[in-house]
A and B are shown apart, each in its own frame.
Chain A
Amino acid sequence: MKTPKRPISESLSDLNEKETIAAVEERLELGDDPIRIMDQCQEGIIEVGRRYESGEYFISALIMAGEIMRQISEILLPVLKKEITGKASGRILLATVQRDIHFIGKNIFKVLLQCTGYTVQDAGEDVPPEKILEATLAFSPDVIGLSCLLSSCYDSMRDTVAILKEGTRDLETIPRIIIGGRVNEKVNQYVGADGWADDAMIGLRLCHKLIRR
């Protein structure tokens, strides 16, 4: 068996887009387990986060890592779908709240959710509460994930939660609302959501917990 030049986690953490994508394709062709490939990608993403926090990387590196992960998910999802049948399932709606245009955390979270078997709809960024409610009523999610990086948009998130709770209270299955980004328990209490995560993996575990009911 031909051995790839270096681990995917390394080329991803070095943000080498072409090398990483080529390595993922090669590993799949060689019959490697897609879940193992995904695990290595996650290791790479964690390393990118570490380098960002140490000052070695800047914002653009996080965005680039998210973009590489998006492409990897496009390659892995069709294969993973066969593997994950019968595992996690549920519907999750994601959106960055009105007046906030950031997307990197949301997009990485989306990839993780999809690769774990969830059906995800992404309503985009800077989305007004009414639009998120509209998407909720049309998509019937089990969980709504609201993203917000700017503290100036906590009120936007609070308004969105209030509108969603009011607009979904008569539904047979009331979706749970979680928040992500630069948030913590205090922000969670402030906006009135059902849970929070400041890390994609924590968010994933939260979705497992909420959807298992």
Chain B
Amino acid sequence: MSNPRPIVIACPTVIEEMQPLLPAGFKTRVLDFGLHVNPDRLRTTLQRAIDEAAKEADTIILGYGLCANAVVGLVPSNSTLVIPRVDDCIAIFLGSTAAYREQSQKVPGTYYLTKGWIEVGDTPFEEHKRLVDKYGKQRADRMIALMLKNYTRLAYIDTGQADQKGYRRYARRTAEQFNLRYEEISGSRALVRKMIHGPWDDDFIVVRPGQTVELTDFSIACP
């Protein structure tokens, strides 16, 4: 082992933001986005990926937050695990938990989109298309209207990626179609940059070999 270069294990939406900043030769492992649906399965898959990565690297960076407790209980057996101290990837895209809190306090009913989310197809627009194919337009409209009942805003997070024009257009069109107020909000690469290059300060949970990730590890981000 004894490899000074960390390995990144991330979800597709987070890796999208990390890729432009990753130095050459950085190994990455991207897990299926659909795993989020079942936090227990995500935890098992993450643990397996961590055990695999530990054979090659001393340090593993997780491109995940608390993610519905999916990371609670993970144990890096013989490597150090670095996890951003955030609830989920929205805080990663916005640059901090504080920025995420500010947004969710301002408008709790916000549907967030980024380039990465649009690419994995996790949008109401794509879901509507799937539903139309399966059930016809009338039922699809009703299902999406129910799903978005408490949402008032669609926020496209500008994470500083190159060439976002098409994604912005897509997000705006989605907002119009589902009667949501469209807004673009500025993201930040600060946390993503620190994930890759450090320092792994209070914004991160650094789990030493043999230690277990606990829910309370995340509570400092939520004073």
Contact = CB atoms under 8 A, between A and B. Distances in A.
B104 A152 contact: yes
A126 B127 CA distance: 25
A60 B108 contact: no
B38 A53 contact: yes
A60 B215 contact: no
A145 B147 CA distance: 22
B17 interface: no
Interface stretch (A34-42, A130-138, A182-190): A182-190
B206 to A, nearest CB: 20
A15 B109 CA distance: 25
B105 A186 contact: no
Contacts of B34: 55
Nearest to A61: B143
Contact of A103 (B38, B65, B67, B149): B149
A101 B151 contact: yes
A155 B37 contact: no
Contact of B215 (A53, A103, A152, A187): A187
A190 B218 CA distance: 11
A99 interface: yes
A17 B138 CA distance: 12
Contact of A67 (B68, B69, B146, B216): B146
A187 B108 CA distance: 21
A154 interface: yes
A58 B130 contact: yes
A196 to B, nearest CB: 12
Given A99-B104, A152-B101, A190-B219, A182 B143 contact: no
B222 A155 contact: yes
14 contacts: A17-B139, A63-B143, A100-B108, A101-B108, A101-B151, A103-B149, A126-B109, A126-B150, A155-B222, A182-B39, A182-B69, A186-B69, A190-B216, A190-B219
